[in-house]
Structure 1
Amino acid sequence: QKIEDTTMGWRFINPKLKELYGVDTMPQTAENVAEQFNVNRADQDQFALVSQQRTASAQAKGFFSKEIVAVEIPQRKGDVVVIDTDEHPRASTTLEGLSKLKPVVKADGTVTAGNASGINDGAAALLIASDDAVQAYNLQPRAKIIASTAVGIEPRIMGFAPAPAIKKLLKQANLTLEQMDVIELNEAFAAQALAVTRDLGLPDNSDKVNPNGGA
């Protein structure tokens, strides 16, 4: 029996599972979405640029400062290094620079390191509490969860899943997209983010979607 191995994704794959669903890596699924939903390279790069610009603007305004706990890293020599800012965003990003990057999946592909999310260290926590807990601990809620849902689509185009999920959730909550002031949407890859927003009828780089940048 053949043992499959991929640098990103499942390892020691069940052949039957592979036969049913494939073993596309995350970048490959983004390329699949780009092809299936006709999202070209130029639009992906433009989306990535706007995301970088929005993040840089939010950082400059201190938008994330209260959400980040500074981490001190002792050095063998010299002062302690303090990490208090997300290290991934690149404020110096340009459209010209993005356009020069090579595709990561195939030679004629559209997904690059510039229009895909980066991989770096980090951790996050979100406190969810009941009404009783909010009162008992004198908490001040930032938001209220009014509905949740789940959908399933082909793994090979997994990044498109927010589109049917959002439609299902809005119907479930008896709300419309027009009622949303801000939409925080996964943008692991510009290709899938654009495929989702277009399916929802939103303009590319809508002011409502990830106004403070994304992944």
Structure 2
Amino acid sequence: MRRAAIITALRTPIGRYGGGLSSIRPDDLAAYVIGAVVERSGIDPALIDDVYLGAANQAGEDNRNVARMASLLAGLPVTVPGSTVNRLCASGLEAINVASRMIEAGHGDVFIAGGVESMSRAPYVLSKAASAFGRDQELHDTSIGWRLVNPRLAEMHHPYSMGETAENVARRHSISREEQDAFALRSQQRWKAANERGLFDDELVPVAVPQRRGDPLVIDTDEHPRPDTTLEGLARLKPAFSNAADATVTAGNSSGVNDGAAAVLLVEAGLASSMGLDTLSLVGASASAGVDPAYMGIGPVPATHKALKRSGLTLGDIGLVELNEAFAAQSLACARELGLEEDTLNVNGGAIAIGHPL
């Protein structure tokens, strides 16, 4: 049976919104990490069958197939194609899944897959008038959230913001403000401990950011974490997405708006062995699942059940679990529904601390 082996996995530091990476275009940021993966692995770039990159925005400098543009910018041969994948927050993960399934199906042996997002550089978009001389144009900030909503879809599913869906999940699953703040603090503390132990060193690619004068500014660590966060400080924050009396979701117990890129080299396991390439891990089963958009953050629960069924495993067989921390509310709801243990979940911190480039 053909299996996809992860040979090299690298990422840029995660930049704060408007921070150290905000001057770098997303296609350049992706090119930076693609080039680093090729260099670190020592793979002959001519062997790469395809490049898959996830990108959720695609409204600005990441438009028109950022995977292909980044591949060319990285200096890959023009014969290496590229394809851009969009499953919103899971776009990079979907890109890895696509590449892995291509390997399993025998449609290639060597792939680069990953994702890129510059939320700092996401543009404003202006809709065209619906009729001649119309004045119904709308201006949207594409950094996050809905834009150009289809009125028919809005009638079917209210266009809640992501933060509002987290409030919905918190209410449905009785997740308290105190639980959310404690989870957020734990994420910050775990990132701090992991960073101090150098656990991110091997995966980070420092980014040299040109300056108007002097030497480039080297970004070599995540900018978003707040390692000195306290429960008292979190408790002082006001709800960010709702004025309701029972609102609990704040900026402190939510993930950030960030910039970053990541990429992995995937090689068919047998070929990797014959080439003498060390394998970090093998890619197993994957699954996606749809849920009511009003409670979008609970989606990992049915998706996990589907993936486990496909693999013939149970959660008891899994030693460590990584769950995207879009919001503490949905993370806690997913953990509760799946029966995840605290000491095996996001042991080095998650998106609340590290950041969340879409």
Name the TM-score, length of structure 2 as normaliser: 0.56
2:167 — aligned with what?
31
| RMSD of Structure 2 on Structure 1 (CA) | 1.8
Q: Is the 8 A contact 1:5 1:13 kept in 2?
A: no
1:121 — aligned with what?
259
Aligned pair 1:110/2:252, yes or no? no
Q: Mapping of 1:68-147 within 5 angstroms?
A: 68-107=204-243, 108=245, 109-135=247-273, 137-147=275-285
Taking structure 1 as reference, are residues 178 and 3 closer, same or farther at Cα in structure 2, changes over 3 Å only? farther
CA deviations on 1:174-206 (whole Å, 9 max, x unpaired) are: 111111110011111000000000011235xx0
- Counterpart CA distance in 1 for 2:289 and 2:254 is 23
CA deviations on 1:10-41 (whole Å, 9 max, x unpaired) are: 32221111111221111111111111111111
Which 4+ stretches in 1 moved above 4 angstroms?
1-7
TM-superposed deviation, 1:47: 0.1
Taking structure 1 as reference, are residues 11 and 93 closer, same or farther at Cα in structure 2, changes over 3 Å only? same
TM-superposed deviation, 1:80: 3.0
- Counterpart CA distance in 2 for 1:24 and 1:126 is 33
Letter in 2 for 1:33: V
Aligned pair 1:156/2:291, yes or no? no
The alignment covers a number of residue pairs equal to 213
Aligned pair 1:176/2:314, yes or no? yes
Aligned pair 1:195/2:337, yes or no? no
Taking structure 1 as reference, are residues 159 and 3 closer, same or farther at Cα in structure 2, changes over 3 Å only? farther
Name the TM-score, length of structure 1 as normaliser: 0.92
Aligned pair 1:166/2:300, yes or no? no
**Secondary structure of the structure 2 residue equivalent to 1:56:** helix
In structure 1, the gaps of 5 or more residues are none
- Counterpart CA distance in 1 for 2:275 and 2:263 is 18
**Secondary structure of the structure 1 residue equivalent to 2:218:** strand
Taking structure 1 as reference, are residues 89 and 110 closer, same or farther at Cα in structure 2, changes over 3 Å only? same
Taking structure 1 as reference, are residues 5 and 42 closer, same or farther at Cα in structure 2, changes over 3 Å only? farther
Taking structure 1 as reference, are residues 103 and 174 closer, same or farther at Cα in structure 2, changes over 3 Å only? same
- Counterpart CA distance in 2 for 1:22 and 1:4 is 19
- Counterpart CA distance in 1 for 2:213 and 2:146 is 41
- Counterpart CA distance in 1 for 2:212 and 2:137 is 43
1:67 to 200, 203, 214: 203
Letter in 2 for 1:11: R
Q: Mapping of 1:198-209 within 5 angstroms?
A: 198-203=336-341, 206-209=342-345
TM-superposed deviation, 1:6: 6.1
Q: Which moved more, 1:48-57 or 1:169-178?
A: 169-178
TM-superposed deviation, 1:76: 2.9
- Counterpart CA distance in 1 for 2:225 and 2:235 is 17
The sequence identity of aligned pairs, in percent, is 50
- Counterpart CA distance in 2 for 1:83 and 1:172 is 40
Q: Is the 8 A contact 1:181 1:208 kept in 2?
A: yes
TM-superposed deviation, 1:146: 2.0
Greater strand proportion: 2
- Counterpart CA distance in 1 for 2:218 and 2:148 is 40
- Counterpart CA distance in 2 for 1:5 and 1:76 is 32
TM-superposed deviation, 1:59: 0.4
